[in-house]
Copies of this chain bind each other. A is one copy, B any other.
């Protein structure tokens, strides 16, 4: 018996930010994509942010002050003004995007994202407010033989 993997869905979800810098909990949105994709016994979810001034991270979603503290520290380390050359004025957002990263990979079991007890998935806005997208690629396994 082996479990072969196949692609079962590629969905794009929309995220609307309200602030210049903001972590938006998208765990339930991603879970809804997983839940509505049909029966996934074992699988994987790949998230990809197609933007250069945003990112995606996995961190605590129990106490909202955690995301506030992470944003405060990122803003303190990477100031909005620092003699940047890029004339659009959003170089700090580009730096944050490279440090946080634009993709995440999460396992799925029985149609549930396998996250730690305190983990949630956050879209990281660093140059909002804007309308953004997150590409969600799902893989399922097929038991053969």
Contacts and interface: CB of A to CB of B under 8 A. Distances in A.
A99 B97 contact: no
Interface stretch (A13-21, A24-32, A60-68): A60-68
A38 to B, nearest CB: 11
Interface in A125-145: 135, 137, 139, 141-142
Nearest to A122: B98
This chain: copies in complex: 3
Given A7-B42, A59-B94, A66-B86, A103 B102 contact: no
A70 B98 contact: yes
Contact of A7 (B58, B70, B103, B141): B141
Contacts of A101: 101
Contacts of A88: 63
B106 A91 contact: no
Contacts of A35: none
17 contacts: A2-B8, A2-B142, A4-B142, A5-B7, A46-B105, A50-B114, A50-B116, A51-B119, A63-B86, A65-B87, A66-B91, A66-B94, A70-B95, A76-B82, A98-B100, A99-B100, A103-B105
